[in-house]
Structure 1
Amino acid sequence: MQSDLRTKLMQALSKANGAFISGQEIAEYIGCSRTAVWKHIEDLRNEGYKVEAVRKKGYRIISAPEKVSTSEIQFGLETKSLGKLIHYQESVESTQKIAHQLANEGAQEGTLIIAEEQVSGKGRLMRSWHSPKFTGIWMSIILRPKIPLHQAPQLTLLAAVAVAQAIEDVTNLQPQIKWPNDILINRKKVTGILTEMQAESDRIHSVIIGVGMNINQQIEDFPEDLQEKASSLFIEGGEQLSRAKVIQRFLVRLENLYTLYLQEGFMPIKLLWESYAISLGQVIKASTVNETIVGKALGITDAGVLLLEDDLGTVHSIYSADIEIQ
């Protein structure tokens, strides 16, 4: 209940677009007393928001703290469903772990789990993910698509496109996607995506998309063994970014693509993914659990499987592998 009131309060202040909105208008909008409005405003101030209050005019937000808290994300959020319910903690083991628990408990589609820091973040193939405090975006979102099980990997590629589009929205950088879901800028990784599924043999209960984005890190923030491979939007673009705004753009892009996908299928998503793909037409080395294949990347199938043609003309289907561009 409290989270619903906070969401409506942020919506009311956001819709005012920097103008004053009276306590009475806010109270009517969110369905509570003016005294309750005042208490919620005080809570915002305690979180670091600068809220101006003028007699007979009302309230307006002057500035927001540089956090990725529920209030900051929801202030100005333009989605219909994604991110309307947010679970925020300053430090967690893993947002994916919390997302699995919430999904099991029936959390609604679009629920966002976000933290300032992960101490046990994980990526693909059970690798750890470096998630330092107040520098990047460490989040997981719960989706409940009514699609066959075999189509679930398509959502990984969809999320990668959403990240690339969001980066273009907030920077002048040109992101590229390395199959299946690494986002690169100048051939250095700035984002990783991990998609996990809860399902029975005949239906999907939930798909949990975990996203780790390097936003404002400087090069010394990365361990030495990552400094040649990883980067951040700040390092590549030279500009500090509002992490909340990046999240808002990602949620809008993800919601638009997800709606398109549910209405029209994977083909429009596939075409968008291929437009960002760095590896198509390139000779790459794919290292799977059982073998290493070198070949030309022809494209992806409707299931998101990478097709590699070797020197003998044999086309290999790559379902999971480490990819190196030769």
Structure 2
Amino acid sequence: MTQRQEQTLVKLIEILSDGQFHSGTQIGVELNLSRAAINQHIKKLSALGLDVYSVTGRGYRLNKPLQLLDEDKLASYLSREGAANMVLERIVGSSNDVLKTVVKQSSQTAGFAVVAEAQTAGRGRRGRSWSSPFGTNLYLSMYWPLENGMSQAMGLSVVIGTAIAKTFAEAGIQAVQLKWPNDVLVEKRKIAGILIELEGQATGPATAIIGIGVNLSMPEWAARDIEQPWIDLEQALGGNFDRNEWVARIITAVREALKIYQNQGIKPFRDSWNQFDAYQNQAVKLLMGAHAIRGVAVGIDEQGALLLKRDGKIEAYHAGEVSLRNDEATSR
């Protein structure tokens, strides 16, 4: 899709975002498109996760209104400095990839963020795809420099997850939990995930690209391919909410957590993590490639590693190709 086609598509979405019918004639005049071109763009909306109704004599409308992200509204909820240190994109391949390009092309300050309305190539950990329909969820990538090398990123996903969990809990959401190392749960269903990608040197200057996906108002049909139980903020709050305000809340919480982590490390977050830990004192199974390791989860250490009690000893396991599952067998 060319940049011009993408711009036209975004304008079409903005026209339809009110959830009302708009005639083909009206759309054609506003966008300078033929009826055939309009039909082609409507088909592209479906690929972005938008459900469009077409009724003869009335025109086109979305199945429900969209609450689009708006730079001015975001700025009203962020500090002046915070609002200036971000960019809002409508459609990207991956927000992490966009941020990597921006950082390479120009110097950015810590906490610089890319926020997108949709991703066409969103990804999670271990190469999994991340469902990214337009105008419903949050796709956020944040830049954080690591002056002392990649080792400085130890436990970073724990810090980010804790910041998001606390934000949810402070808003009155019940049953918020954290699943090591990078998932936020509500009622044992996933609501947010974190993907951290590192670039640079092991012991010299490096960069953390922190990708965060949060289910805000996930369409049921868009979640058909999600292989695990999920929930969104709309369900968790029990009603409508201000999407711009919540995006600003999460950006602010993550930036503040990163500043604390930079100065004090993971120690200030360990107690909070233990409060939210979904597997505290439970029998679990760690999958490390083809190997399964069983034990009892007993929290995290000062580097954010998972602590397992096995055969009477406490062993630490770091993030990487590791996933955590409930397990009936217990090794003590």
Give, in angstroms, the shift of residue 175 of structure 1: 1.5
Q: Take 2:221 and 2:235, find their aligned partners in 1: how far apart are those partners?
A: 11
Runs of 4+ in 1 over 4 A off after TM superposition: 80-83
Give, in angstroms, the shift of residue 274 of structure 1: 2.0
Range moving further from structure 2, 115-124 or 164-173 = 164-173
Counterpart of 1:264 in structure 2: which amino acid?
Q
Q: 1:179 to 1:313 in 2, by over 3 A?
A: same
Map 1:1-326 onto structure 2 (within 5 A).
66-78=67-79, 81-105=81-105, 106-223=107-224, 225-226=226-227, 229-310=229-310, 312-319=311-318, 320=320, 321-326=322-327
CA RMSD of aligned residues (A): 2.4
For residues 22-59 of structure 1, what are the alpha-carbon distances to aligned partners after superposition, in whole Å with 9 as ceiling and x for unaligned? xxxxxxxxxxxxxxxxxxxxxxx99x9xxxxxxxxxxx
Q: Take 1:189 and 1:209, find their aligned partners in 2: how far apart are those partners?
A: 18
Give, in angstroms, the shift of residue 302 of structure 1: 1.5
Range moving further from structure 2, 248-257 or 276-285 = 248-257
Give, in angstroms, the shift of residue 130 of structure 1: 0.6
For residues 130-178 of structure 1, what are the alpha-carbon distances to aligned partners after superposition, in whole Å with 9 as ceiling and x for unaligned? 1111110011011124344313032211111111122234443332100
Give, in angstroms, the shift of residue 224 of structure 1: 5.2
Q: Take 1:82 and 1:220, find their aligned partners in 2: how far apart are those partners?
A: 35
Q: Take 2:138 and 2:171, find their aligned partners in 1: how far apart are those partners?
A: 14
Q: Take 2:168 and 2:226, find their aligned partners in 1: how far apart are those partners?
A: 25
Q: Take 1:274 and 1:221, find their aligned partners in 2: how far apart are those partners?
A: 33
8 A contact 1:70–1:86 mirrored in 2: no
Q: Take 2:259 and 2:199, find their aligned partners in 1: how far apart are those partners?
A: 21
For residues 227-248 of structure 1, what are the alpha-carbon distances to aligned partners after superposition, in whole Å with 9 as ceiling and x for unaligned? x512212223321222221121
Identity %: 23
Q: 1:268 to 1:308 in 2, by over 3 A?
A: same
Give, in angstroms, the shift of residue 307 of structure 1: 1.5
Counterpart of 1:246 in structure 2: which amino acid?
W
Counterpart of 2:266 in structure 1: which amino acid?
F
Q: 1:225 to 1:131 in 2, by over 3 A?
A: closer
Q: Report the secondary structure of 2:263's partner residue.
A: helix
Q: Report the secondary structure of 1:102's partner residue.
A: helix
Q: Take 1:224 and 1:257, find their aligned partners in 2: how far apart are those partners?
A: 32
Q: 1:152 to 1:83 in 2, by over 3 A?
A: farther
Q: 1:84 to 1:120 in 2, by over 3 A?
A: same
In structure 1, runs of 5+ residues without a counterpart are: 1-44, 49-64
Counterpart of 2:317 in structure 1: which amino acid?
I
Counterpart of 1:244 in structure 2: which amino acid?
N
For residues 253-296 of structure 1, what are the alpha-carbon distances to aligned partners after superposition, in whole Å with 9 as ceiling and x for unaligned? 22322222223232112222222111121111111114101110
Q: Report the secondary structure of 1:201's partner residue.
A: coil
Range moving further from structure 2, 128-137 or 237-246 = 237-246
In structure 2, runs of 5+ residues without a counterpart are: 1-13, 18-65, 328-332
